[in-house]
Amino acid sequence: MKLSRKIAIFLILACILCKASPIFSADYSDFNPNYLISDAEMQEWQSMNQSDIQSFLSQYGSALSTMTLTDKNGITKPSSEIIYNAAQEHKINPKYILVKLQKEQSLITEKNPSQKQLDGATGYGITDGCGWTCDMYLNNQGFGKQVDSAAGIIRWYYDNKNSSDWIKRAGVSYLVDGQTIIPTTDATAFLYTYTPHLHGNENFWKLWQNWFGYSIPDGSLVKSADSPAVYLIQDSKKRPIKSMSILTSRFDKKMIMTIPLSELANYPDGASISLPNYSILKNGDKYFLVDFDVVRPFANFDVVKKLGYNPDEFVDITDADIAGYTIGSTIQIDTTDPTGRLVKLKDEGSIYYLKDGFYHAIYNQQIAKITFPELIIKTVIASELKNYQPGAIVKLKDGTLFKTKGGSTVYVVEKGKKRPITSNDVFVGFGYDEKNIIIIDDILASIHETGQPVYLPGRMAAMQATTPPEFDDQEIQIGEKIVENGKMVAVPESQSKYIGEKFTTNINTYLIADYKSGKILVGKNVDKVRPMASFVKVMTAYQLMFNGLLTSASVTFDPKMTAKSSKFRAVKGEQFQNNDLLLSLLTSSINTPAKMLVMGNGKSEAKFVKEMNAKVKQWGLSKTKFTDTYGYDLGNVTTAREYLKVYTKTEQNAEVRKALGTKEYAYNEIKDLDGKPKHYDTHSNILVNKPGLPFKIISSKTGYLDEAGAGLVMLIERPSDAKQFIVITMGNPDYINRFVEPERLANYTTTNF
C-alpha cells in the first residue's frame, strides 16, 4: 500500500468513533499509556488463519461471521477472508484488525450493524475536522477498503517512520490530550499516530487485554513472591492448588514460576484443585477415582477391592466436593489399567502407556519419565498388547519447556502444541527457569504442532521496557575459546567505541562501508572479536569455488556428512547437484550442504578448514579463524572490520554472489529414494523479499548463535546513483525482530552517504 504524505497526514487527526465497547472483565488499573502493545505483537501476521478469525467472529455472535462483503477490489468475499487477506498482505496481526473493528464501530459484538458502521468499519480517514465527509474517508469507504487501509497504514508507518517526522516513534516525547506520552514501542507510537487521543487508545488496550492479553500458557504453575499459594493457569483462569501434597500428585514443583502479584490478579479464579490425583473418594456407598479433572465412578465396591486400595486411604467427600469435576466413564470389573501404566516390549524396546484398554506409543524413555514421573516402566512381551486398541501418541505435558538439539529457540508446550518463547525478556519476565529446559531431538519436537508465539502481556513488558539487556562482559582474544553459555558476547555501552556519527541502536556491533573503496563510514565496536555463526558459510563457498568446484557435478549423500543443528532432508544414497547445494548453503543457510560439498568433492573437513585459515592469513587478517565449514562451532571468530574484507572478497565470485542474492529457489534431487525429491525455500534474510525498500539488496548472509546474537551482512545499492555499500550487523540481541534494526541502518546509509 502506498500513501502520499498529504494523504497519510490526515490520519494524525483520526478521531475516536468508539461506540459501546464489549464487556471488560479484567482489572485495568495498571494501564500504562506509554505501552499499548509490542512491535512483535503488532507484526505477528500469522497469529490467526482464516478459520481462526471465523471462529472468533462466531464466538462473539458477530454479524460479520455470516456476512459476505466487498473487498478493496470490489470482489464479494466472507468478512473473515477480507480480514485475513489484509493481515497477510501487509504483515500485520489480524488481532489488531479485530480490535480496530470493535473499537471504532463495535462490529465484533454487533448483531445487526448499519451500513454506516460497515462503511466506516475502522475509522480510517474520519477526522476531527471533517468527520464522515472527509475525502480520505470517502475514497476508502466500505468494509473491504477500511480493513485494508487500517492494516496498510500501520505497515506504511513502519516503512516510513525514519523519513517522515510526523509519524510518532518510540522513545520520543509527545503531548497527547495534555499529557506527556513517551511510547516505548513503535506499535504504541503508531496507534497514537492513527488515533491521537488517550481515551481511544486506552479503549484499544482494554480490548486487546480482554481478548488477547492473557498470555501465560495453559499448564503453567504460578505463584507471587507475596504468598506461598500456587495456582494452575488453565483456560485463562488461575486454579488454586489447595496443598503441596495435591500439587506433587499432579505436577513437578520445580516448574513453579514466580510472577508479579499484579499480573496474577488479572486472571479470574477458576475451580480449585482440592483432591490428590488418583485418590479414591467415598461418598456414602459410592466410590470414585480422581483422574486429574475427571472423577470416575466405580461400578461397585468389588471393583475397588480388585484394584487393591486400602480403605484407610479413602477420602470421605460430599456431593459439593466434586461439583466442579467432570464425571467420567464408569470403572467396571474388566476395565484395564484405569490409573495407567508404562511398559517396554522385551524384544524391540518400544515403550507404551496403557490405560482403559488402549495403548499409546511413547517416542522414547525421556518423554515417558517427563510425562509420567510417578510410573515405573515394566518390561513385558509383545503379546500383552493384543487385547489393547491403538490410541493417540503421547506428547509432552503442558507447561514443559524444551529446546531441540543444537537449536536456540525455547518452546513451551500448551494443549499439545509447542509455542516459541519470543525472547529472553519474555522467558525471564514469566519467571521461567532455564534449569527446567529439556533437550529433545527434532523428531520428537515435530510431533508437536507449532502454536502461536508467547509474548509478555503489555502490562508486564512495560515494567521491563527500560531495563537494558544483560550481556557477557568478557573480552575474548583470538585463539581463546568462547564458552558455550547462552550469553551474547558484547561490549558494554560504557566501553563501546564508535567510528563516525553514532547510530542509536541496541545492536552491539555494526559497520557501514563504501563498497568500492572499502572505507568504513560509521561503525561500533568494529574490532571486537565475536563468533561468526553462519557468516562462515560464505568463506566455505568461496574456497570451494577457488578449489575448482563444478556446479554441474553432483554429490551422493552419506549420513556422515550430516552437520550439527541441521534440518537438511536427505537419506543415504540420494544425489544432489552442487549448484543446488550452494543455494541450500547460502540462500537458506542450511548446515549439512557445507559438509556435503566439501566431503563429496574429495576433502576432509579438517583439511578444508586449514585451507580457509591459510587464505584469510594471506589476506592479512589476524583475528579471523575458522574451526568448521558452517559456523556452528564457537571457535569460528572474526571482527566486523575483518569480515568486511572477507565478505567483499568472497562475494565477488559470480556463483557465490548469485546464491547470496537469490530470493527463492526450488530444485529436485537427481536421485530420490524417499519419495520427496523437491526442495524449495526463500532467502533467510526476509528483507530480500520485502517490497518497497528504498535500496536494492545485491547479496546478503544471515547468522545466529546464542553467543553471537543475530548477524546480517548485506551489499546494498542506492537506486538514484547506483552507489553501493556494505552493511554489517553483529550482536543483535533481538532475534525475533532481527531484521528491524538492520533495515533502519540500511535506510540511514542510503540517506546520509
Percent of the chain surpassing pLDDT 70: 92
Q: How confident is the model at residue 650 (pLDDT cuts 50, 70, 90)?
A: very high
What does the pLDDT read at residue 306? Answer: 79
Integer Cα distance of 223 and 204 in angstroms: 29
617 vs 454, residue with greater confidence = 617
What does the pLDDT read at residue 214? Answer: 60
pLDDT digits (tens, 9 = 90+) for 57-94: 987 889 999 999 999 999 999 999 999 999 999 999 99
Integer Cα distance of 615 and 645 in angstroms: 12
CB contact at 8 A, 212 and 455 = no
For the entire predicted model, the pTM comes to 0.46
Integer Cα distance of 663 and 728 in angstroms: 19
pLDDT digits (tens, 9 = 90+) for 140-155: 999 999 999 999 999 9
Residue 656 DSSP label = H
334 vs 612, residue with greater confidence = 612
Distances (CA, A) of 438 to 165, 366, 369, 402: 47, 9, 12, 5
Q: How confident is the model at residue 724 (pLDDT cuts 50, 70, 90)?
A: very high
The gap from C-alpha 39 to its chain's centroid, in whole angstroms, comes to: 13
pLDDT digits (tens, 9 = 90+) for 288-303: 988 888 889 999 988 8
What does the pLDDT read at residue 728? Answer: 98
pLDDT digits (tens, 9 = 90+) for 345-376: 988 889 999 988 899 998 888 788 878 877 88
Domains of the chain, CATH where assigned: 5-212 (no CATH), 221-264 (no CATH), 280-327 (no CATH), 341-390 (no CATH), 401-464 (3.30.2390), 493-752 (3.40.710.10)
**54: Cβ contacts below 8 Å, ≥ 6 apart:** 65, 78, 80
Integer Cα distance of 356 and 354 in angstroms: 7
CB contact at 8 A, 90 and 155 = yes
Alpha helices (H) along 547-601: 578-586, 592-599
What does the pLDDT read at residue 6? Answer: 32
**Is the pLDDT confidence value at 326 over 90?**
no
**440: Cβ contacts below 8 Å, ≥ 6 apart:** 366, 367, 396, 402, 403, 404, 405
Mean pLDDT calculated for residue range 731-747: 92
Residue 131 DSSP label = B
Q: Which of 278, 39, 309 is nearest to 154 (CA)?
A: 39
Q: How confident is the model at residue 482 (pLDDT cuts 50, 70, 90)?
A: low
What does the pLDDT read at residue 458? Answer: 54
Integer Cα distance of 441 and 247 in angstroms: 29
Mean pLDDT calculated for residue range 733-737: 86
Strands (E), 557-644: 575-577, 637-638
**Is the pLDDT confidence value at 414 over 50?**
yes
Q: Rounded mean pLDDT of the chain?
A: 86
Q: How confident is the model at residue 570 (pLDDT cuts 50, 70, 90)?
A: very high
Distances (CA, A) of 6 to 11, 136, 681: 10, 10, 39
The burial class, CB within 10 Å (0-12 / 13-18 / 19+), for 165 is: exposed
